[in-house]
């Protein structure tokens, strides 16, 4: 399906954009490289939205639905580059793998989608292919995609996250929850005159570790994990802590809502005095100068295997020579907005493994990269019918 020249183009473009460091909020340089590539390819109406996501589209020879393929441009930081086997922004090939930060998450999948969807002949697909390379996914899944979808109005969405080139039909959601416990200050030489917030927080932590959480046959078990906490004042000098602030990562099942999640946590600590539970609010600066402000809540979702969309996706992957295996993502993706909030049918498909995301010595196997590119070609051909 993919000629040798297209395969070489996919690999070369993946190397090019891996070499551009693009932390969340600093995606401008890689966005420019993607726009340049889209102009070389056969895309129409290439634009950058107010938050910096690059959007382009192509129209097939016959009318049909609008299929949006989304891949994010941002990567997570590299804390200790000297510990990497190869330079984290080298984009070099060793052992039939491309190495570097973002190779799997997700500049490899992004390159595969941009090139393959830009090269598929217009007579080979119906409807409209829309592609977005979105910003800030690593810090706030779905916020940028919401703006993209407000512009593009897709009928179906493919999230290009790495999942071993499987047919992803669901994902766990995610919420950032803050728990703030307040006590009473006193000199630490007379602690009985105060109310140590850390001791109260210890009871809260125990309760939240024991709280029942929902599960789902496909998505697995819900999670409520304490990921950081800090006392007030900090650092302290002979003062009983007056406050203890905690941040929890809550992994969500399909059907959980902001109201149900918040109510379930508050119920566990309802009799603890001066304990406040809220969703975290995220404020993000984009490289265009606009600010994204959202509640840190991202629903879980599942699409039925018997959905006509999933059936067409299955056929498209089979046409590409991929025997589709169904899967569900344990991590959160931009699909939390498209499927979980906007209720637009969505799947996840992308080369490489999510287990390589964010890790030291990140890479993508070239064989998997090219299989993913063929998969995007096959999906585009079938989903528009």
β-pairing verdict for 97-99 and 93-94: antiparallel
Count of CB atoms situated within 10 Å of the CB of 212: 9
CA distance 310 to 303: 8
Do 164 and 313 lie in one domain? The reply is: yes
Mean pLDDT, rounded, for 83-97: 97
Do 277 and 354 lie in one domain? The reply is: no
Q: Look at residue 221 and tell me whether its pLDDT is greater than 90.
A: yes
Number of H helices, E strands in the chain: 9, 21
Distances (CA, A) of 146 to 71, 151, 260: 13, 9, 23
Counting residues of the chain whose pLDDT is more than 90, the rounded percentage is 99
Mean pLDDT, rounded, for 285-290: 97
Domain CATH for 204 = 3.30.70.360
Range of the domain at 262: 174-285
Do 206 and 325 lie in one domain? The reply is: no
Do 18 and 162 lie in one domain? The reply is: yes
In contact, 118 and 38? CB cutoff 8 Å: yes
More confident residue, 197 or 354: 197
Task: Name the band, by pLDDT with cuts 50, 70 and 90, for residue 191.
Answer: very high
Do 188 and 317 lie in one domain? The reply is: no
Structurally, how many domains does the chain consist of? 2
User: How is residue 1 written in tokens?
Assistant: 């399906």
DSSP label at residue 36: H
In contact, 352 and 368? CB cutoff 8 Å: yes
Counting residues of the chain whose pLDDT is more than 70, the rounded percentage is 100
Q: What pLDDT does residue 304 have?
A: 96
CA distance 320 to 326: 16
CA distance 353 to 109: 11
Instruction: Return all residues near 256 (Cβ < 8 A) that are at least 6 apart.
Output: 173, 214, 222, 299, 300
Do 24 and 164 lie in one domain? The reply is: yes
Matching residue, tokens 């599960």: 215
β-pairing verdict for 326-329 and 167-171: parallel
- Read off the pLDDT of residues 109-139 as tens digits, 9 standing for 90 and up: 999 999 999 999 999 999 999 999 999 999 9
In contact, 332 and 68? CB cutoff 8 Å: no
- Angle at 38 (CA atoms; ends 162, 89), nearest 5 degrees: 50
Do 319 and 216 lie in one domain? The reply is: no
Instruction: Return all residues near 102 (Cβ < 8 A) that are at least 6 apart.
Output: 17, 18, 22, 75, 108, 362
Q: Look at residue 216 and tell me whether its pLDDT is greater than 80.
A: yes
Q: What pLDDT does residue 361 have?
A: 97
Do 143 and 184 lie in one domain? The reply is: no
- Read off the pLDDT of residues 346-356 as tens digits, 9 standing for 90 and up: 999 999 998 89
The mean pLDDT value of the chain amounts to 97
| Secondary structure (3-state) at 353 | coil
Q: What pLDDT does residue 1 have?
A: 73
Residue 346: inside a domain: yes
| Secondary structure (3-state) at 68 | strand
Q: Look at residue 254 and tell me whether its pLDDT is greater than 90.
A: yes
Domain CATH for 350 = 3.40.630.10
Q: State pTM to two decimals.
A: 0.95
- Read off the pLDDT of residues 3-23 as tens digits, 9 standing for 90 and up: 999 999 999 999 999 999 999
């Amino acid at each position: 399906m993919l000629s040798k020249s297209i395969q070489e183009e996919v690999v070369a473009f993946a190397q090019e954009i891996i070499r551009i460091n693009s932390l969340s909020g600093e995606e401008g340089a890689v966005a420019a490289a993607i726009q340049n590539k889209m102009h070389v390819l056969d895309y129409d109406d290439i634009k950058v939205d107010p938050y910096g996501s690059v959007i382009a589209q192509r129209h097939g020879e016959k009318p049909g639905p609008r299929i949006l393929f989304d891949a994010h441009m941002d990567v997570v930081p590299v804390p200790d580059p000297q510990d990497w086997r190869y330079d984290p922004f080298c984009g070099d090939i060793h052992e039939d793998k491309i190495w570097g930060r973002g190779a799997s998450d997700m500049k490899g999948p992004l390159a595969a989608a941009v090139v393959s969807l830009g090269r598929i002949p217009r007579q080979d697909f119906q409807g409209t292919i829309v592609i977005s390379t979105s910003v800030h996914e690593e810090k706030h899944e779905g916020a940028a995609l919401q703006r993209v979808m407000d512009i593009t109005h897709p009928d179906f969405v493919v999230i290009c996250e790495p999942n071993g080139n499987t047919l992803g039909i669901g994902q766990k959601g995610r919420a950032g929850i803050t728990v703030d416990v307040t006590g009473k200050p006193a000199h630490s030489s007379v602690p009985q005159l105060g109310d140590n917030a850390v001791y109260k927080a210890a009871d809260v932590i125990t309760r939240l570790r024991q709280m029942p959480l929902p599960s789902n046959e496909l998505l697995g078990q819900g999670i409520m994990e304490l990921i950081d906490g800090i006392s007030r004042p900090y650092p302290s000098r002979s003062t009983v802590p007056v406050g203890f602030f905690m941040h929890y990562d809550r992994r969500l099942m399909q059907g959980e809502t902001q109201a149900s999640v918040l109510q379930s946590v508050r119920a566990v600590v309802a009799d603890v005095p001066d304990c406040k539970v809220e969703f975290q609010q995220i404020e993000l600066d984009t490289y265009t100068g606009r600010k994204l402000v959202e509640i840190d809540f991202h629903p879980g979702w599942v699409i039925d295997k018997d959905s006509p969309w999933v059936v067409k996706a299955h056929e498209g992957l089979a046409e590409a020579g991929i025997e589709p295996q169904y899967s569900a993502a344990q991590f959160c993706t931009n699909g939390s907005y498209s499927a979980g909030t906007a209720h637009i049918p969505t799947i996840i498909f992308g080369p490489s493994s999510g287990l390589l995301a964010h890790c030291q010595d990140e890479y993508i196997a070239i064989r998997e990269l090219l299989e993913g590119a063929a998969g995007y070609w096959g999906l585009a051909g079938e989903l528009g019918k």
